[in-house]
Amino acid sequence: MQKIGLAIIAVLFLVLSSVLYTVNETQTVIKLRLGEIITVEESPGLKFKMPFVNNIIKFDNRIQTLDEPAERFLTSEKKNVIVDSYVKWRIIDAEQFYKSTGGNIVRTNNRLTQIIKTGLKSEFSKRTIADVVSNERSEIMSNIVRLAKKDIAQFGIEIVDVRIKRIDLSQEVSNSVYRRMQAERQRVAKEFRSKGAEKAEIIRAAADKKRTIILANAYRDSEKIRGEGDAASANNYAQAYNKNTDFYAFYRALASYKKSFSNQSNILILNPNTEFFRHFSPQIK
């Protein structure tokens, strides 16, 4: 009896599994009858089908990501750039999707790849490297989405987004760009050095001029002061001489003696009766 009960349970399970199926929140289900679509189930829950008559095909209605390897495209300058992009898409009409692609995701991705490549090729061929790298990336993606929507309308899907992850220059283009950048930097550096040398010359000339003026003024002032000092000295000597001519003559003679006999090795051969020695001999007047 126990074996019979287990057999009955197994049969019931098989029967129920053949007549019941579930639809999840993330799925859209197409029910076929002998290969013909009879209904599309989008609401989640437990559903019924006729065994051996109805076939069930389930599709994921969430956003799908198509991330293909990077491709090489030509810009308007005939320069190669390597573009890495991805596409976000989803099924919006399961019946149309099944009719146009047979429900094959791989076939759909291949078709989308060709559409996106064609759009990227067209957009990059209109722009320079500077355009695609700097400020026109958003415009490129918007144009691709707009053009691709026309081509995929028959597939029952929609493109949610197209994004360019990275744009790389090919090796030969990179070398050429780096050489141009280096030349440009060298030109700018040379210009800065030239301007700096010019300013240095202006500053140096101004400093030399100021130095010359300062030295000239200092020499003028020193000569003026020296002249004033000499005049004052001569005036003092004149006043002193006028007050006592004998003493002044004696003082001048002593200064002359001091200067003449400053070195012990000096020898003078003179007549002692000359005016030079008059202070050594009182008889000499």
Domain count, the chain: 2
> Is residue 193 assigned to a domain?
no
Structural domain ending residue among the three candidates 110, 143, 176: 176
Query: Does residue 70 share a domain with residue 167?
Result: yes
Residue ending a domain, choose from 41, 60, 79:
60
- The pLDDT-based confidence of 282 (bands split at 50, 70, 90) is low
**Measured between alpha carbons, how far is 184 from 241 in angstroms, rounded to an integer?**
84
Chain-centre distance for alpha carbon 123: 26
> Could you tell me if 49 and 105 lie in one domain?
no
In this predicted structure, the answer to whether residue 284 has a pLDDT above a threshold of 60 is no
Q: Which residues contact 4 (CB under 8 A, 6 or more apart)?
A: none
Amino acid 207: pLDDT: 92
- Burial tier of 15 (Cβ tally within 10 Å: 0-12, 13-18, 19+): exposed
CA neighbours closer than 13 Å in the CB half-sphere of residue 24: 8
Does residue 68 lie in a domain region? yes
Same domain assignment for residues 56 and 160 = no
Do residue 71 and residue 161 come from a single domain? yes
Q: How much is the mean pLDDT over the chain?
A: 80
Residue 68 is part of which domain span? 64-176
What pLDDT score does 3 carry? Answer: 60
Query: Does residue 36 share a domain with residue 23?
Result: yes
Q: Are residues 84 and 160 in the same domain?
A: yes
Residue 183 lies in a domain: no
Residue 230 lies in a domain: no
Asked if 26 and 108 sit in the same domain, the reply is no
Q: Does any domain span residue 204?
A: no
Residue 44 in any domain: the answer is yes
Position 68 pLDDT exceeds 70 = yes
CATH number at residue 142: 3.30.479.30
Instruction: Say if residue 129 is in the same domain as residue 172.
Output: yes
Query: How much is the pLDDT for 233?
Result: 81
100 vs 17 pLDDT, higher one: 100
> Would residue 144 count as lying in a domain?
yes
Last residue of a domain, one of 123, 152, 176: 176
Whether 101 and 30 map to the same domain: the answer is no
Query: pLDDT value at position 2?
Result: 60
The answer to whether the beta carbons of residues 30 and 40 sit under 8 Å apart is: yes
pLDDT tens string 192-226: 999 898 899 999 999 998 999 999 999 888 988 98
Do residues 49 and 85 share a domain? no
- Domain assignment present for residue 20? The answer is yes
